[in-house]
Amino acid sequence: MKRLEKSFEHLLFTSRWVMGPVYLGLALALVILLFKFAKEIWVLFADIMTATGGELIIGVLSLVDIALIMNLLIIIMFSGYENFVSKMDDLHSHQDRPEWMGHIGFSDLKLKLIGSIVAISGIELLKAFMNVDNLSDRHLAWMVGIHVTFLFSGLFYAGMDRLAGKGH
């Protein structure tokens, strides 16, 4: 029976590698977002002479939005891989290794995720306010409501995380 238990535990432990292709897929998503970024910057430069100030600001905010999402994907890929699949031991001495790599736990990862979602939502809301003439009051109200929901969710999560940390 002990042998069966050991085999089962080994199978469970090894199953973490099922997440490997997921992190590879996120790396491919970075490439897709890079193409989206290139398209956005191309449109921004193509319209530079005819665009209004508001349209240029919306274009730049779109670039910032894509950059935030790409940064978030990198954090999720590295932290998720190191927390749930395998340590990147060969990269500990690499000169370009980010300082946070290997130090972000699951709780930190969730806080960064909710913080990024709030930031991305805020940028989308700002873009909507820059284009307020083309949106209905109902649409804007929904956007504000969703943003406030994300904001309070993040604050409540951070508060719960802080309370849980004080008990240790």
**pLDDT, position 137:** 86
**Domain-wise residue ranges, the chain:** 20-166
- pLDDT for the residue numbered 9: 92
Distance from C-alpha of 97 to C-alpha of 104, rounded to nearest angstrom: 14
Q: Coil, strand or helix: which one is 29?
A: helix
Rounded Cα–Cα distance for residues 4 and 145 (Å): 52
Nearest 5 degrees, angle CA 47-CA 48-CA 54? 90
Q: Taking the mean position of all CA atoms in its chain, how far away is CA 165?
A: 23
The length of the chain, given as a count of residues? 168
Instruction: Encode the chain (168 residues) as per-residue pLDDT tens digits.
Output: 889 999 999 999 999 999 999 999 999 999 999 999 999 999 999 988 888 888 888 889 899 989 989 988 988 888 888 878 887 777 667 777 666 666 677 777 778 888 888 888 888 888 888 878 888 889 888 989 999 999 999 898 888 888 887 544
Residue 136's CB: how many other CB atoms inside 10 A?
Answer: 8
pLDDT of residue 102: 64
Torsion sign (Cα): 118, 27, 83, 15: positive
Q: What pLDDT is stored for residue 149 in this prediction?
A: 93
